[in-house]
Amino acid sequence: MVTLAKISIRGRVQGVGFRPYVYKSAVTCGLKGYVANTPTGVDIEVEGDNAEGFVEQLKKDTPPLCSIDETHIEVLPLLKGYRDFTIKKSLGNSPPFTQISPDISICGDCLRELLDPNDRRYLYPFINCTNCGPRYSIIKSVPYDRENTTMSGFQMCEDCRGEYGNPENRRFHAEPIACERCGPALTLVLPGRKYAAATETPIGQVIELLRQGGIAAIKGIGGFHLVCDALNNDTVKRLRERKKRQSKPFAMMAATTDSIKEFARVSDKEEALLTSPRRPIVLLRKKESAVSPLVSGHVSQHGFMLPSTPLHYLLFYHPSGLAAFKALVVTSGNRTGEPIITENDEALDKLSGVADAFLLNDRDIHMGCDDSVVRITEDGLPIFIRRSRGYVAEALRLDVDGPEALAYGGDLKNTFTLLKGHYAIPSPYHGDMENLGTVEIFNRNLNNISAIFGITPAIVACDAHPGYAAGAMAIERNAHETIFIQHHHAHALSVMAEHGLSGDAVAVILDGTGYGADGNTWGGEFLVTNPCGFTRAGHFKYMPMPGGDKAAGEPRRMAVAYIADAFGDRARHVLNTLGFIERHGEEFIDTILRIIPIRELSPLGSSAGRLFDAVSSITASADINTYEGQAPMELESIVLPWVGESYPYGILDGAIVDFSATIKAIVSDVIDGVDKGRTAAMFHNTVVAAVSEMTMRICDTTGLKDVLLSGGTFQNAYLLDNTISRLKTLGLNVYTNEKVPCNDGGISLGQAYGARRLVCAQRS
Ligand code: ZN
Ligand code: ZN
Ligand code: FE
């Protein structure tokens, strides 16, 4: 029977080749009607035999980047007598909510064409199609049509227009479609021009410059990268000096997974992540290799990504430089602490002392984003270090609907999160909010993303820290309701939001620092929590942090504090035996010992991060952090995984985890010259044991079974895997962050979710 069905589809269905797919399916089924983008997704009308069965047909073989959340079908009584099936221009411009696709790496078809001398886009660095290319970074508004992207200024040539309008073509309605004749082009700027050019194409010249040890600033999808040969020690050294980045590891890029395997071990899951169209940086276990030791220093991992743009591939496969590089350093183009640079002029200005050449192009980046960074634990769990390019602004599905909300996140590794309906939209990674440039980018992204998703939040959430810049911004917004969420509660809430948990649970938050409800610095916390509140059921023993904030940058300060706590009057003697006085001077050590009892100079903290700092300094002489988390990362790096033993620890009053016995045992092992890797492993095992015992006690008293793990210290894969398996052995249900970072990059999701649940609870 001939019927007319009206179908509305929600989900990620724009900019992913969905309309052409619908067109082809409809034509194949002999149906007439139309398909159109709408502010909420895609609308379809089909007329013909079994029109209502069309949806099932449609769900079978959707394009790779599309994901359908909801379908709504209505069978209309009257036929409209469509004569053919058409793809309509987008319908409507009411306040939109639709998902937009993240930026997607070049697909296999485009890569083949890129390297095919007979293809009309041979070596064209901006080749793309409906299955690949930039999306998030070029979208100015929705619906996702060419005129709403930064491609609007490029007039399609006749050939491109033909492909764009041909439903049989892979580039049918590929909004960023382009070719050499009509699309964006590269410009090379060589300020000094001290490198001989063997060829005249910009890419050829950049390859030659890189080969001769130069550093290039290259505009990518989400912003500029600084690029150089990772095997050239002098060049990497120069990059470090010029970028003033002492030892924080640089990410690298190699042409294929096989070439990455020369430098690092790659598990199946890691390979799947590397090759996924999102193309994050994946942290992989280093192998002995020809990569400059200056690339990632003392940590046991290399961060690698595969090329994500046609331009990246050309650096490896351009005929003029074929196989010139085994691995390139590819690091964010910014000044240390500042956000990634997205504009040509800004790059020429700010990176002038760093790069020898600038490979620019005229496709504007409307919204910048850094590369995402992910690691996979031995047990196969993903840990997001940074969720940005390839992931933003993908919406996460929540279990509850409710009022629109905006959460400002923390001051470090800042992100914000917007809530609308059943969706949470975490922003890209912004960095440190103490930097004015970061605040500017935050505001820009907030304006753009809330406009695209049509969100005007009445509820605003932020950290309870009175000194946070992000908190001040939230208050300044003067929203209908401003809700303050304690830092570690927000970490716990981020896990609840991800897993759709709404009941009571025990949260174990091992973290650097966060403002505590008692005014002290918290960070080794056991909370009994639900979406609307928490009680503190236990914590790591308070320890003075000599010099306050300075203690976070100098693990040696925490080492002295922990030793003073464990050894009392004998502390100075012990520090001498350990070589601390020789390493840091009598004056420094005596000053630290003197200020430890003075609260104004040495505020109290229960931070897990600071405990790892102290042990790293005592065990491995990681005394100063040149970047955040350096000492704990170096400590995890030396763990001997086959060591199963642990050190003693105490639990005071059933609530305070005391590691003074652990510190004593570690000191004596260090003095006895026990293998550092063994000590590091035993320390990790001790934390696992102490945390598990404390958790089990709380679960016993409260009768709870659900345990949430979060906080930046759980970026430590050994700690995460072992804590999870121990807690599972004890019969508990363990949940952790798998979609947003467990570090402060994830707290905005928790804040937003908590604020919404709180407001809903108060209203009902
Ligand atoms: Zn493609
Ligand atoms: Zn063209
Ligand atoms: Fe935190």
How far is 486 from 743, CA to CA, in rounded Å? 15
pLDDT band for position 114 (cuts 50, 70, 90): very high
Ligand 1 centre to CA of 171 (Å) is: 8
Final residue of a domain: which of 32, 56, 87? 87
Q: Are 98 and 39 in contact (CB under 8 A)?
A: yes
Same domain, 595 and 490: no
Same domain, 290 and 395: no
Q: With 80 as the cut, is the pLDDT of residue 335 above it?
A: yes
How far is 701 from 209, CA to CA, in rounded Å? 66
Q: Considering its fold, how many domains does the chain have in total?
A: 4
Same domain, 65 and 202: no
Task: For residue 719, tell me if it sits in a domain.
Answer: yes
Peptide bond into 531 cis (omega under 30): no
pLDDT (0 to 100) of residue 15: 77
Report the SS3 class of residue 36: strand
How far is 653 from 204, CA to CA, in rounded Å? 69
Final residue of a domain: which of 58, 87, 116? 87
Ligand nearest to the CA of 128: 1
Ligand 3 centre to CA of 42 (Å) is: 39
Ligand nearest to the CA of 525: 3
Nearest to 302, CA basis, from 259, 272, 334, 244:
259
Alpha helix (H) ranges present in 454-501? 469-476, 487-499
Peptide bond into 393 cis (omega under 30): yes
Please list all protein residues whose beta carbon sits less than 5 angstroms from ligand 1, which is an ion: 107, 110, 129, 131-132
Ligand nearest to the CA of 485: 3
Ligand 3 centre to CA of 599 (Å) is: 23
pLDDT (0 to 100) of residue 93: 54
> For the residues of 510-578, what is the DSSP string, one character each?
EEEEEE-TTSSEEEEEEEEEETTEEEEEEEEPPEE-TTTHHHHH-HHHHHHHHHHHHHGGGHHHHHHHT
Chain-centroid distance of CA 253 in Å reads 17
How far is 302 from 283, CA to CA, in rounded Å? 6
Query: Is 0.85 topped by the overall pTM?
Result: yes
Looking only at the bridges linking them, the beta strands covering 32-38 and 85-87 are parallel
The kind and range of the H/E element at 736 are strand 733-736
Task: For residue 146, tell me if it sits in a domain.
Answer: no
Ligand 2 centre to CA of 156 (Å) is: 5
Query: Which residues are paired to 151 by β-bridges?
Result: none
Same domain, 401 and 477: yes
Candidate from 169-183, 194-208, 247-261, 592-606 with smallest mean pLDDT:
194-208
Task: For residue 367, tell me if it sits in a domain.
Answer: no
How far is 321 from 300, CA to CA, in rounded Å? 31
What are 340-392's pLDDT values in tens digits?
Answer: 999 999 999 999 999 999 999 999 999 999 999 999 999 999 999 999 999 99
Same domain, 661 and 755: no
How far is 402 from 558, CA to CA, in rounded Å? 44
How far is 647 from 18, CA to CA, in rounded Å? 57
- Residues for the chain: how many in total? 764
pLDDT (0 to 100) of residue 95: 47
Nearest to 514, CA basis, from 525, 505, 503, 504:
525
Structural domain that includes position 237: 188-361
How far is 501 from 282, CA to CA, in rounded Å? 29
Q: Are 249 and 376 in contact (CB under 8 A)?
A: no
Ligand 1 centre to CA of 367 (Å) is: 21
Ligand nearest to the CA of 113: 1
Ligand 2 centre to CA of 93 (Å) is: 29
**88 Cβ contact list (under 8 Å, min separation 6):** 34, 35, 36
What are 27-67's pLDDT values in tens digits?
Answer: 888 899 999 888 788 999 999 887 878 888 888 888 888 88
Q: Are 515 and 487 in contact (CB under 8 A)?
A: yes
Ligand 2 centre to CA of 218 (Å) is: 23
Report the SS3 class of residue 759: helix
**609 Cβ contact list (under 8 Å, min separation 6):** 510, 511, 512, 513, 523, 552, 629, 632, 712, 713
Q: Are 422 and 401 in contact (CB under 8 A)?
A: yes
Amino acid residing at 183: G
Nearest to 748, CA basis, from 443, 542, 460:
460
Q: Are 522 and 516 in contact (CB under 8 A)?
A: yes
Q: With 60 as the cut, is the pLDDT of residue 317 above it?
A: yes
Report the SS3 class of residue 398: coil
What are 624-641's pLDDT values in tens digits?
Answer: 999 999 999 999 999 999
pLDDT band for position 94 (cuts 50, 70, 90): very low
Ligand nearest to the CA of 516: 3
Return the DSSP state at 475.
H
pLDDT (0 to 100) of residue 298: 87
Ligand nearest to the CA of 521: 3
What is the average pLDDT across 732-757? 98
pLDDT band for position 462 (cuts 50, 70, 90): very high
Ligand nearest to the CA of 177: 2
pLDDT (0 to 100) of residue 391: 97
Tokens of 517: 């409800």
Q: How far is CA 546 from CA 207, 595, 603, 630, in A?
A: 50, 6, 7, 19
Same domain, 304 and 218: yes
How far is 65 from 392, CA to CA, in rounded Å? 14
Q: With 80 as the cut, is the pLDDT of residue 96 above it?
A: no
Ligand nearest to the CA of 747: 3
Give the side-chain half-sphere CA count within 13 A for 283: 25
Ligand nearest to the CA of 124: 2
Ligand 2 centre to CA of 184 (Å) is: 10
Ligand 3 centre to CA of 429 (Å) is: 15
Q: With 70 as the cut, is the pLDDT of residue 595 above it?
A: yes
Ligand 1 centre to CA of 135 (Å) is: 12
Ligand nearest to the CA of 184: 2
Ligand nearest to the CA of 121: 2
Q: Are 322 and 211 in contact (CB under 8 A)?
A: no
pLDDT (0 to 100) of residue 97: 60
**Which of 48-62, 219-233, 320-334 has the highest mean predicted lDDT (pLDDT)?**
219-233
How far is 388 from 508, CA to CA, in rounded Å? 26
Alpha helix (H) ranges present in 115-168? 158-165
Ligand 2 centre to CA of 162 (Å) is: 9
pLDDT (0 to 100) of residue 534: 97
Ligand 2 centre to CA of 181 (Å) is: 5
Kindly state the percentage of the chain with pLDDT values over 70.
98
What are 692-743's pLDDT values in tens digits?
Answer: 999 999 999 999 999 999 999 999 999 999 999 999 999 999 999 999 999 9
The CATH number of the domain where 486 resides is what? 3.30.420.360
Q: Are 108 and 131 in contact (CB under 8 A)?
A: no
Ligand 1 centre to CA of 108 (Å) is: 7
Task: For residue 306, tell me if it sits in a domain.
Answer: yes
Nearest to 67, CA basis, from 393, 367, 394:
394
Ligand 2 centre to CA of 89 (Å) is: 21
Nearest to 490, CA basis, from 173, 750, 109:
750
Same domain, 352 and 217: yes
Same domain, 332 and 410: no
Ligand 3 centre to CA of 420 (Å) is: 25
How far is 246 from 294, CA to CA, in rounded Å? 9
What is the average pLDDT across 293-322? 94
Same domain, 659 and 622: yes
Query: Which residues are paired to 650 by β-bridges?
Result: 658
Q: Are 459 and 757 in contact (CB under 8 A)?
A: no
Ligand 3 centre to CA of 300 (Å) is: 24
The CATH number of the domain where 618 resides is what? 3.30.420.40
Ligand 1 centre to CA of 364 (Å) is: 20
Radius of gyration of the chain (CA): 28
Same domain, 603 and 486: no
Q: With 60 as the cut, is the pLDDT of residue 198 above it?
A: no
Q: With 80 as the cut, is the pLDDT of residue 427 above it?
A: yes
Tokens of 562: 């922990």
The CATH number of the domain where 74 resides is what? 3.30.70.100
Q: How far is CA 524 from CA 152, 450, 491, 556, 690, in A?
A: 51, 35, 12, 19, 11
Please list all protein residues whose beta carbon sits less than 5 angstroms from ligand 3, which is an ion: 511, 514, 744
The CATH number of the domain where 341 resides is what? 3.90.870.10
How far is 600 from 546, CA to CA, in rounded Å? 10
Burial annotation 535-556 (CB, 10 A radius, 16+ → b, else e) = ebbbbbbbbbbbbbeebbbbbb
Ligand 3 centre to CA of 651 (Å) is: 24
- Listed in order, strand segments (DSSP E) in 230-372 are 251-253, 264-265, 281-286, 301-305, 328-332, 357-361
Longest CA span, the chain = 94
Ligand nearest to the CA of 628: 3
Same domain, 355 and 490: no
Ligand 1 centre to CA of 56 (Å) is: 27
> For the residues of 628-682, what is the DSSP string, one character each?
TTHHHHHHHHT--TT-------EEETTTEEE-HHHHHHHHHHHHTT--HHHHHHH
Ligand 2 centre to CA of 158 (Å) is: 7
Task: For residue 381, tell me if it sits in a domain.
Answer: no
CA torsion, ordered 243, 244, 249, 250, to nearest 10 deg: 0
Task: For residue 336, tell me if it sits in a domain.
Answer: yes
Ligand 3 centre to CA of 487 (Å) is: 6
Ligand 1 centre to CA of 120 (Å) is: 14
What are 239-284's pLDDT values in tens digits?
Answer: 999 999 999 999 999 999 999 999 999 999 999 999 999 999 999 9
Final residue of a domain: which of 27, 52, 87? 87
Phi/psi for 733 (5° steps) reads: -90, 125
Q: Are 407 and 752 in contact (CB under 8 A)?
A: yes
Same domain, 337 and 268: yes
Task: For residue 100, tell me if it sits in a domain.
Answer: no
Task: For residue 104, tell me if it sits in a domain.
Answer: no
**739 Cβ contact list (under 8 Å, min separation 6):** 384, 387, 396, 498
What are 132-162's pLDDT values in tens digits?
Answer: 999 999 999 888 899 999 999 999 999 999 9
